[in-house]
Amino acid sequence: MRHGVKKKKLGRRPEHREAMLANMAASLLAHRRITTTLPKAKAVMPFVDKLATLARRGDLSARRLAAARLRDPQALKTLFDEHAKHWSDRTSGFTRWARLGPRKGDGAEMAVVELLVPAAATETGKEGKAGKASKSAEAKSKSAGKKTARSSKPKAKKAAA
């Protein structure tokens, strides 16, 4: 009997299920957002939340426990070095999911799962919000300069033959 055991089986044997959840967690840590079916999304969230709680502890014992469950050295490094500092003041709720609707091929309910990290941490590069804003301002000024240069030239009309 399964007294008190509340985890979803997902139609897989325990070894396959654990490997699948570890792979999904590694992808989520690497890309910060994954698209999957709704039952898998609901199953991977507690898995990642427990890893995030270990990352918040940050000691060697926590790192070894997380490595045993995650099995991906690069994802483990990302979890402990990058994401843990963003979650230092948060006690729970490190992930969220949202429904996407049915999949076109088989009608399976789809969902997106994403990590809750600050907006500055999700941008590419290490420039932050100020760097992105200054780049967009430069791009706008360049495009404004191009528009004025084009408007000063007369447009040639095509001859109707």
Query: Among 36, 38, 27, which Cα is nearest to 70's?
Result: 27
Per-residue pLDDT tens, the chain, 161 aa: give them: 878 777 889 999 999 999 999 999 999 999 999 999 999 999 999 999 999 999 999 999 999 999 999 989 999 999 999 888 888 888 888 999 999 999 999 999 999 999 988 766 555 444 444 444 545 555 555 555 555 545 555 555 566 55
What is the CATH number for 38? 3.90.1030.10
What residues make up the domain containing 110? 14-118
How many structural domains are present in the chain? 1
Residue 39 maps to a domain: yes
Residue 34 · residue 14 · CB < 8 Å: no
Query: Distance between CA atoms of 123 and 129, rounded to whole angstroms?
Result: 8
Residue 124 maps to a domain: no
pTM, to two decimals? 0.70
Residue 152 maps to a domain: no
Query: Distance between CA atoms of 159 and 139, rounded to whole angstroms?
Result: 36
Residue 73 maps to a domain: yes
